[in-house]
Structure 1
């Protein structure tokens, strides 16, 4: 029995871990590296294993940094079975198709730019994968996982998905392995949510595990508590409206968009926000994800379920507009003030939000509200860290807007929630820390006791 690490090692994106047992190879996630140009190039490099040898891919959830290299995996020879929850299956399809479409668009833009300047076409870099590649990989999604129901993968290999409370359908994955009379219970946290948040249930890990592989995104810090974070969001909106500006919220399409819609609805309902508020969800993927959310109330906590039971939609309210078409998005540039514009991507690495930033970063009366994690090397991180000027679309844009960073909405557990989750797994002999920046991992490692802590590097392999 062996485990090797092929992504999100001393870094936050690109989750990919490989377990070998009884002649079978089981991959847990195959995510895309996200961030600067260097990480984009890393996506094209060898995966560190032969995709054709992988028998199963267990997908913890549908965020791009966990599923985004699946089309590439299939392109390079994977012919095994992909297993995930019903909600993750739907969301992963949406995410991978969106990613492929954006890559094709970027490749076309580069081709036009090269043509204008007379550059050599041979130097053009095509998309990592195409929409057709993303569609083809859907053929390999097989059995559907249900929380707490074991699935027999092979002799001596069983997997159980448990609720991770991170996004719709997210799961921690327990592998029960047996080889040559030796048994191991290996738990992969996936990305973990925190307790008491809106819409989703709390994380529910299994206990008595031997080995834990866990994320450490916020392993070195505590989030703001939720109630003050909601109040800060309302205050940012009301203050900006009073100044005559607009509020731009860079939004992750999965979970964050739906959670913010939920709280905006609550704000209108209790009078914390004006009843006349105009909110534009300017993200085709977030709109589609919201529709998928409505189909999967099996993932909801009791409060959200009760809303549906009483005939109320937790993701809708007067003044909410879905802007699917590009022309509708462009028309928002003519809205001078009094609007909340939610657009992807959350880290501002692409998508429509960059155009809204172009039109609002220089405005002193507007506000940019960040409600999620911003990885190093991303435009969001530059702005959060206090950049005075941003370069995009060939222009230098001064940053004069009000910048808010509200941490309480994170879909990731903070340090104390991570420690609590780890304690509930029992007393694992070893804990591998992944999916975090190195300083966060090292800080979190210092908080753990009664377990051997390992922070693996890329492509490192360990016996189980």
Structure 2
């Protein structure tokens, strides 16, 4: 008997976690963290909905926190199976999990220092030791296009998803003989036409597909138009002597924006006197990891690599230390500040927002998805003021939202990826219920495709 159940990203965007049960074996695809409002964060501490000790293997599509962020908790609660991922994902996941553990430990220490008399002590979801222990379960990295035996009666093959470095679609072959079925997990699919990575491989034949639909209701603006708008935002802001704050995800978006800033300075589209600050220790380390994995790059970008460092530029500063980060706040204008997190839920970007959101001369440029309930989403949706680091800050800076830089495929590209091959059913996951999921569902209905939005933990038999 084959059973599929979704234990994260069910009728919501984050927390991706999928369970397949086949011939007495249990395999997970992803084990991600919920992100957004306080309720989403609290969900990370809730039971998984299955016994981690019974899981034979975990297949990781990529290293974003909402796909890998609960792995140390899974291990802490008894998982002792194999963790399989591409080489680049394995390396990035180590960076992401250690960073997440460090932030959780720091949040717990900060809460302990505050006046919380009469309340229970705040415990981190997991510690740095937990993260290091979990990393031990990762096996040597896999390449694309090769079959691997995961467990008796279960084989997997990874295909390039074009989302971030090392990201993969996972095709599972389940069972043997006449009862054999195939199921494809899209992971997160990249936005085609971006400069660093290859486009996603079209969906291979599969009986069932679990498909992300973050942008299932709309297309993206074109990448060239988005680059033009980015340069415009920078020129206008620098022209009025303000700073440009760009909340960025450490993986992929940061490297892509650095590349476009490199080109803009080279071609005169960005004022030559600007100072660019990459204020994210994790993004700095991730950029070094990118340099180590040319096997993931687009062929044209590989040619660019032959002629120098595509991320380097005059006036670029990597700020690892807290003191260096704080010094940026003394700059009155003419700075471009890239800092995490992309949804402004944590990290150093909150300090830069505190010092720039209230300034009419400055700009905040959003270049990626912002989930409901996040600080980024409240700013994007036009809040007159927002709470940042326990202080109410008026939003007077100019706010730009440039979604063409998204690392997720838009609706037309998702449909192109799925293609017209017959499917028994498509499961819509990883999207906002009233937007991405319903929008994609309407499109699939028009194409005569059977689809379903799984409920959290709902067991679905695969006939």
Given the two structures, how large is their TM-score scaled by the length of structure 2? 0.97
Who is 1:375 aligned against?
A: 371
Who is 1:64 aligned against?
A: 65
CA deviation string 1:374-433 (max 9, x = no partner): 000000000000000111222211110000000100000000000101116x21110000
Q: 1:340 aligns with which of 333, 336, 340?
A: 336
Q: 1:303 aligns with which of 300, 304, 308?
A: 300
Which consecutive residues of structure 2, in runs of 5 or more, have no partner in the other structure? none
Contact kept in structure 2, 1:429 and 1:450, CA below 8 Å: no
Q: 2:226 aligns with which of 211, 223, 229?
A: 229
Who is 2:359 aligned against?
A: 363
Contact kept in structure 1, 2:276 and 2:317, CA below 8 Å: yes
SS in 2 for 1:142: coil
Q: 2:191 aligns with which of 177, 182, 194?
A: 194
Who is 2:440 aligned against?
A: 444
- Is 2:33 aligned against 1:37? no
In 2, the alpha carbon distance for the partners of 1:160 and 1:382 equals 40
SS in 2 for 1:273: coil
- Is 2:22 aligned against 1:21? yes
Q: 2:323 aligns with which of 327, 343, 350?
A: 327
In 2, the alpha carbon distance for the partners of 1:125 and 1:205 equals 45
Who is 1:212 aligned against?
A: 209
**Post-superposition offset of 1:307:** 1.5
In 1, the alpha carbon distance for the partners of 2:327 and 2:258 equals 21
In 2, the alpha carbon distance for the partners of 1:31 and 1:374 equals 17
SS in 1 for 2:202: coil
- Is 2:137 aligned against 1:140? yes
In 1, the alpha carbon distance for the partners of 2:21 and 2:144 equals 24
CA RMSD of aligned residues (A): 1.1
CA deviation string 1:256-297 (max 9, x = no partner): 000000100011111111222210000000000000000001
In 1, the alpha carbon distance for the partners of 2:153 and 2:203 equals 19
Who is 1:463 aligned against?
A: 461
SS in 2 for 1:35: coil
In 1, the alpha carbon distance for the partners of 2:224 and 2:202 equals 26
In 1, the alpha carbon distance for the partners of 2:204 and 2:60 equals 21
In 2, the alpha carbon distance for the partners of 1:395 and 1:201 equals 43
Who is 2:242 aligned against?
A: 245
Contact kept in structure 1, 2:87 and 2:140, CA below 8 Å: no
Write the mapping of 1:23-422 to structure 2, written as runs, cut at 5 A: 23-114=24-115, 119-120=117-118, 123-179=120-176, 181-310=178-307, 312-422=308-418
CA deviation string 1:27-65 (max 9, x = no partner): 000000011111111111110100000001000000000
**Post-superposition offset of 1:206:** 4.3
**Post-superposition offset of 1:298:** 0.2
**Post-superposition offset of 1:147:** 0.5
In 2, the alpha carbon distance for the partners of 1:181 and 1:374 equals 44
**Post-superposition offset of 1:450:** 3.2
- Greater shift, 220-229 or 271-280, is seen at 271-280
SS in 2 for 1:214: strand
Q: 2:423 aligns with which of 423, 428, 431?
A: 428
In 2, the alpha carbon distance for the partners of 1:27 and 1:143 equals 18
In 2, the alpha carbon distance for the partners of 1:27 and 1:402 equals 43
Given the two structures, how large is their TM-score scaled by the length of structure 1? 0.97
In 1, the alpha carbon distance for the partners of 2:202 and 2:193 equals 16
Which consecutive residues of structure 1, in runs of 5 or more, have no partner in the other structure? none
**Post-superposition offset of 1:234:** 0.3
In 2, the alpha carbon distance for the partners of 1:202 and 1:238 equals 30
In 2, the alpha carbon distance for the partners of 1:334 and 1:208 equals 56
Cα gap change, 1:206 to 1:149, in 2 (>3 Å):
farther
**Post-superposition offset of 1:15:** 0.0
